[in-house]
Amino acid sequence: RLITATQIYRDVALQLRMKSGNLELPQLRLAGERGVLLDLKGALENVATRPKGSLSGVVAAATAAELSDLALLLGVPEGLRPDDRLVRAAAPLRLAGALTFGARAASSRDLTLAGEVNGTNLKFSGRLDGATAGWRSGAAEVVATIDAPDARKLTALLSDNAELGADKTAPGQLLIKAKGVPAEGLSSVLTLAAGDLAVDFHGLLTVGEQANSIAGDLRLKAADAERLAMLAGLAPPLRLTGIPLEGSLKLTADAKAVMLERLLLNVAGTQVRGAIALSRAGERRQVDARLDLGEISVRSMLAPLLDQRLAAITGAAEAALAGRQSPWPDEPFDLGALAGIDGHVVLAVGRLALTDGVGLKDARVDVGLNGGKIKVDAIEGAALGGRGRIAFRLDSVSGGAELNGSFTLADGRLEALASLASGAKAGTGGRIKAELSFAGRGANPRNLLSALQGQGRAQVDGKLAGLWPGAISLATEQVLKSDPERLRSVLKEALRQGLVAGRLALPEEVALEIADGQLHSKPIVVDSGNERATGSAALNLLTFMFESEWRLEQAPGRDTALGNKAALPAVLVSYRGPVASLDKVEPIVNTEALERELAVRKMEHDVEQ
């Protein structure tokens, strides 16, 4: 029985002869409770100086502890030993092989291995020309292939995340080639094909005494980028579930940092360029990213902040019921994955989309991360002919997240507003700027938007078309001249033309409020003597439906047929529709009270005539 620090070997057999510095090893056998762990034989000349000869045999380990102990017993140099993660992933293991000393040069060592490693088939060939103590400074060449009927077993050897998730079992293959001087840099090739995941690396691997480093070009392809993030040790916090990815980058990595440069990726149809730097400071991770994106949605940007376990189900159900997904998910906030990350991320986005047809163009997103707290210094871009800017802070609180922020619009143009009715766009013009502050908390983004509270103001210097109160007198004149039986049709047509015949001058300042999931104006009153318009506008922040209702009034002019009569009933004009397609929304004009009054006055007018 042989007892080591971690193992007890109950079946030990050793036949060894040492004579004149030469070693003969007819048998070395170690067995534990689960069977043979080591069966070795061979012969070496000049063991202490320049060993020449070979050893061959079988190595087996059912557990990670057995494998680690065997590496110590066999005297495997520390730099060549697998780390703890790889040891855990490689067990159970059974390999047969041979180690040849001095066959090509006095200090050469050639190792061949073949067998099973945790359900995969391994073939390995390694040639080292450096001595045992200085192997890093000698020439080396390594070729290894691993074939797996289940690709998840293969990726488990490469990642801390055990067997990377996959929807179905698929075969996998890994090829590694390296040639050169380890301390100066091994010219290396790695190709991985694991189901729908493909990785191709060409570069240099440097094996130092304290740590290793790698630099080269990397090509990636994955139907589910979450698997790549897990393979790189970035998930969590980087959540990319279900997102296809393909492209290339320059990779530089050592024990302290990983640099991803010259990114040229296609992520779910969006082009991504730029650089990402990742490092560790104790238990914390540091990230610094500068990325250019063609387009990204707010929903996609929120994904890393949410519990994604039910995202696919809820998103699909929502799309089936409503016809499209809301920009505000109802998956709960989960900022815990960001608690160990500090950093700075800057995105330049061609279009930041809120929903279909609504978003910021040429947007810039500046985000700071610190201890699970998210500070967005700016989300800004082209909006309403000017520049819109949002800044906020998102903190984790009991039951969800808390948001505090502000919005400003500078140099906006009323002309950029979608027309509220056919023909209205041409007549609308002027300048607008706005500012808002807001706060709220919720269990998920949708709840948070529903609970958001805020106040602000818009400063306006302009006029709106399609809401001119003078249309009432124009329509009245037409009705009084028409056949009584055509009163309604004449009134409708005359109002339609009259509403866009003039423009409504807006007040210099309009108060704004956020409540109940809506951004709405306080009542707007425009009074110009005998013309008066009272109305309001609201935007539903959850659905991006726009609503506006106006009450238009006009007293008859003194020089008109009804100049000596009381004021006419008001005309009610309302607009409702998706904000992205307001140019297609027709006004709903309510003239019932005016029709009744004009019918009476028409008869009176005819009698008087």
* Among 206, 230, 216, 201, residue whose Cα is nearest residue 259: 216
Q: What is the mean pLDDT of the chain?
A: 83
**Range from 30-44, 92-106, 201-215 carrying the lowest mean pLDDT:** 30-44
- Written as one string, the DSSP assignment of 114-138 is EEEETTEEEEEEEEE-S-STTGGGS
Q: What is the mean pLDDT of residues 127-143?
A: 84
Using 50, 70 and 90 to split pLDDT, how confident is the model at 321?
very low
Cα 323 vs. chain centroid, distance in angstroms? 23
DSSP one-letter code for 92: S
CB-based contacts of 360, cutoff 8 Å, min separation 6: 349, 351, 352, 379, 380, 381, 382, 383, 388
Please calculate the CA angle 500-501-502 and round it to the nearest 5 degrees: 95
Contact of 291 with 272, CB cutoff 8 Å: yes
Sequence-distant (6+) residues with CB within 8 A of 75 are none
User: Would you say 474 and 494 are in contact if contact means Cβ atoms under 8 Å apart?
Assistant: yes
Q: Count CB neighbours of 381 within 10 A.
A: 21
Q: How much is the pLDDT for 284?
A: 79
* Weakest-pLDDT range from 90-94, 179-183, 318-322, 474-478: 318-322
The answer to whether the CB of 346 falls within 8 A of the CB of 288 is no
220 vs 206: CA distance, rounded Å: 22
Least reliable range by pLDDT among 55-59, 231-235, 507-511, 564-568:
231-235
| Residue 358 bridge partners (DSSP) | 355
Mean pLDDT of 112-127: 94
Q: How high is the pLDDT of residue 555?
A: 72
Distances in Å between the alpha carbon of 23 and those of 52, 98, 171, 251? 10, 16, 44, 46
Residue 113 has pLDDT above 90, yes or no: yes
More confident call, 84 vs 12: 12
Residue 543, Cβ density class (10 Å: 0-12 exposed, 13-18 middle, ≥19 buried): middle
Q: For residue 508, is pLDDT > 90?
A: yes
**pLDDT tens digits for 438-491?**
999 999 999 999 999 999 999 999 888 888 898 888 888 888 888 888 888 888
Instruction: Report pLDDT for 34.
Output: 67
Q: Is the pLDDT at 289 greater than 70, yes or no?
A: yes
> Does residue 219 register a pLDDT over 90?
yes
User: What number of other Cβ atoms are within 10 A of residue 103's Cβ?
Assistant: 12
Top pLDDT among 27 and 170 is at 27
* DSSP 8-state class, residue 468: -
Residues 6+ apart with CB under 8 A from 426: 419, 465
Inter-CA distances, 193 with 229, 345, 401, Å: 16, 31, 40
Beta pairing partners, 293: 272, 349
CB 138 within 8 A of CB 126: no
pLDDT of residue 316: 39
CA-derived radius of gyration, the chain: 38
Count of positions (residues) in the chain: 609
Rounded to an integer, what distance in angstroms lies between the CA atom of residue 119 and that of residue 295?
Answer: 42
Cα–Cα distances in angstroms (integers) from residue 271 to residues 238, 247, 380, in the given order: 18, 9, 20
- Cβ within 8 Å of residue 563, ≥6 positions away: 556, 557
Average confidence (pLDDT) over 55-60? 92
Distance linking the first and last C-alpha atoms of the chain: 129
Helix (H, G, I), strand (E, B) or coil at 109: strand
pLDDT of amino acid 533:
92
Q: Is 44 exposed, middle or buried (0-12, 13-18, 19+ CB in 10 A)?
A: buried
Cβ atoms of 366 and 349 closer than 8 Å: no
Q: How many CB atoms lie within 10 A of CB 486?
A: 11
In the structure encoding, which two tokens stand for residue 587, read together? Answer: 């006004």
pLDDT in tens, 387-435: 999 999 999 888 889 999 999 999 988 887 644 333 344 577 889 999 9
Q: Quick one: pLDDT at residue 168?
A: 57
pLDDT band at 609 (very low <50, low <70, confident <90, very high): low
Distances, alpha carbon 594 to alpha carbons 130, 184, 578, in Å: 101, 91, 29
Q: How far is C-alpha 368 from the chain's CA centre?
A: 15
Mean pLDDT for 121-125 is 96
Cα(212)–Cα(216) distance, integer angstroms: 14
pLDDT tens readout for residues 541-574: 998 899 999 999 987 655 555 455 677 889 999 9
Q: Are 428 and 415 in contact (CB under 8 A)?
A: yes
pLDDT in tens, 297-308: 888 888 777 765
Which of 188, 585, 223, 180 has the alpha carbon at shortest distance from 418?
Answer: 585
Residues contacting residue 341 through CB under 8 Å, at least 6 positions apart: 237, 284, 285, 286, 287, 369, 372
pLDDT of residue 323 exceeding 50 = no
Query: Residue 228 and residue 544: Cα distance in Å, rounded?
Result: 35
| 324-336 core/surface letters (b: 16 or more CB in 10 A; e: else) | ebbbbbbbbbbbe
pTM of the model: 0.77
